[in-house]
Chain A
Amino acid sequence: MTAWSSFVDTFFNWHVIERYSPAIAKGVVVTIEVAAAVVITGIVLGLALAVVRAFRVLVVNALIVVFVDMFRALPPLVLMLLVYFGLPNIGINLPSFAVLWLVLALVLTAFAEEIFWAGILSIPKGQWEAARSTGLSFVGTLAYIVLPQAIRLTVPPLTNRTIAITKNTSLGTVIGVGEILNQATTAQSFSGNATPLMMGAIAYVVLFIPVVVLGRVLESRFAWRRV
């Protein structure tokens, strides 16, 4: 066998591809499900926390800062092992899918809060004062004047951060969530062939290249609004 054909046989083996495509496809579905759940809960909670922070209640803000800092400083895999192996011992049993979702959603919440808050802070004071002087309430000013401008500013950094955290769904394989990487490594050990790993990597590229490119486009489109 030539080197080329043995390479193809090992990494692009047609029989293996045929046999394990359904498993990888199942993994793709799980990855998309977790990713969608994480993105929605993470961004909504992050925005909610940033809005709460805008009311500037000292104790509440201190708690938010501690939460945000902790989830920015801790590796998600550490949090995942802590929740997955720790909670059952105190009587809380969560399926591994829920653990992955919970941990990544909280991590995204922390990063999103920080980004939204930076956006709110970047709106000049004059905007607040002008809006309040027209008779708008504090909440009205926040909702109709400040947030629409702030959210615009947050689009590029938030997109990039969201992509990075969504890719962490692959960590779910460690606790047995049947996402792409998990399906690929299982298929690899059953088939004794590296093709499933290649399929998994390709599945991720196909899934994420569009969002990565979108992030790049958003970055240049919104660049002129940068303060």
Chain B
Amino acid sequence: MEAIVQQFFNVAIMAQALPLVVAGLRQTIVICLIVIPLGLAGGLAVALISLSRLRAVRWAAIAAIDFFRSIPPLVLLIFIYAGLPFAGIRPSPLAAVAIAFLLNTSSYYGEIYRAGIESVGLGQWDAARSTGLRAAQTLAYVVLPQAVRNVLPDLVSNTVEVVKLTSIASVVALPELLYSADMARSVTFNSSPIVLAAAIYLAMLWPVVRLISRLERRIAT
């Protein structure tokens, strides 16, 4: 029992690692502020393309979505970070993370938006257009607000997944939360810094996970 406390809940070591871990947390927040808006915007673009009236465009979009959904994000990230330099393109770790996340999360967000837009009845389009709204206005003021409301739990839950996914940036040596904690672990030979990082992830995401459970239940009933 004492060994477990020593190894995982060592307060002295946690205190020592705290400044490093907090710096990592800051980096994680920066990554989130870049990749979440990028993914939300990219996803909306993907959804609109995949709802195109042209069959060829629609199919191309769906093929691209499925392609990026079948490649693990870590594989994509390593391909961009370690593979592209062979082609003469040398992305920084942050740029590699941003590109990999844009490709991966746009596909997931795109599918969610698409389900949302499809859940809004066609009558809404017709009614809005007949009042004189243009297509873009109809989309922005009438369809999207309802679409987003209908798929809000999925959007939030995907965003939680994106925040969790930022931890893979540690693999390309981007000093985010997990990377910093793991540095502290390898210096101290003690897992408490990782427990500290886990506690920070929990503090950030647990409330959101609870919220998702409640949102899902409200829609189910």
Q: How far is the CA of A201 from the CA of B84 in the complex (A)?
A: 13
The answer to whether A204 has its CB under 8 Å from any CB of chain B is yes
Q: How far is the CA of A152 from the CA of B87 in the complex (A)?
A: 48
Q: Do A10 and B87 form a contact, CB below 8 Å, given A170-B72, A205-B70, A212-B70? A: yes
**Which of A77, A91, A184 has the most CB atoms of chain B within a 10 A radius of its CB?**
A77
Task: Identify the closest chain B residue to A173 (Cβ).
Answer: B74
Chain B residues whose C-beta falls within 8 Å of the C-beta of A89 in the assembled complex: 3, 7, 189-191
B1-26 contacts to A (CB < 8 Å) = 3-4, 7-8
When each residue 179-221 of chain B gets 1 if its CB lies under 8 Å from chain A and 0 otherwise, what string results? 0001001000111001101100110011011100100110010
Q: Do A86 and B83 form a contact, CB below 8 Å, given A78-B194, A171-B168? A: no
When each residue 134-166 of chain B gets 1 if its CB lies under 8 Å from chain A and 0 otherwise, what string results? 000000000000000000000000001100111
**Residue pair B209, A209 in contact (C-beta under 8 Å):** no
**Residue pair B86, A77 in contact (C-beta under 8 Å):** no
Give the Cβ gap from B96 to chain A, nearest Cβ, in Å: 13
Overall SS of chain B's interface: helix
**Residue pair A69, B210 in contact (C-beta under 8 Å):** yes
When each residue 72-108 of chain B gets 1 if its CB lies under 8 Å from chain A and 0 otherwise, what string results? 1111101100110011000000000000000000000
**Residue pair B66, A209 in contact (C-beta under 8 Å):** yes
Give the Cβ gap from A38 to chain B, nearest Cβ, in Å: 13
**Which of B78, B166, B189 has the most CB atoms of chain A within a 10 A radius of its CB?**
B78
The answer to whether B171 has its CB under 8 Å from any CB of chain A is yes
Q: How far is the CA of A194 from the CA of B84 in the complex (A)?
A: 8
Task: Identify the closest chain B residue to A213 (Cβ).
Answer: B66
Q: Do A74 and B75 form a contact, CB below 8 Å, given A69-B209, A82-B191, A90-B3? A: no
Chain A residues whose C-beta falls within 8 Å of the C-beta of B40 in the assembled complex: none
Chain A residues whose C-beta falls within 8 Å of the C-beta of B205 in the assembled complex: 73-74
Chain A residues whose C-beta falls within 8 Å of the C-beta of B75 in the assembled complex: 170, 180-181, 184, 200-201, 204
When each residue 44-76 of chain A gets 1 if its CB lies under 8 Å from chain B and 0 otherwise, what string results? 000000000000000000000000011011111
Q: How far is the CA of A11 from the CA of B84 in the complex (A)?
A: 10
Q: How far is the CA of A211 from the CA of B17 in the complex (A)?
A: 42
Task: Identify the closest chain B residue to A167 (Cβ).
Answer: B72
Chain B residues whose C-beta falls within 8 Å of the C-beta of A208 in the assembled complex: 69-71
Beyond A73-B201, A86-B7, A169-B72, list 6 extra A-B contacts (CB 8 Å): A74-B164, A75-B201, A81-B194, A171-B168, A181-B72, A204-B71
25 A-B residue pairings within 8 Å (CB atoms): A11-B83, A11-B86, A70-B202, A73-B205, A73-B208, A74-B198, A75-B165, A78-B198, A81-B178, A86-B191, A89-B191, A90-B3, A168-B72, A170-B74, A173-B74, A181-B72, A181-B78, A188-B83, A194-B86, A197-B82, A198-B83, A201-B76, A209-B70, A212-B66, A213-B66
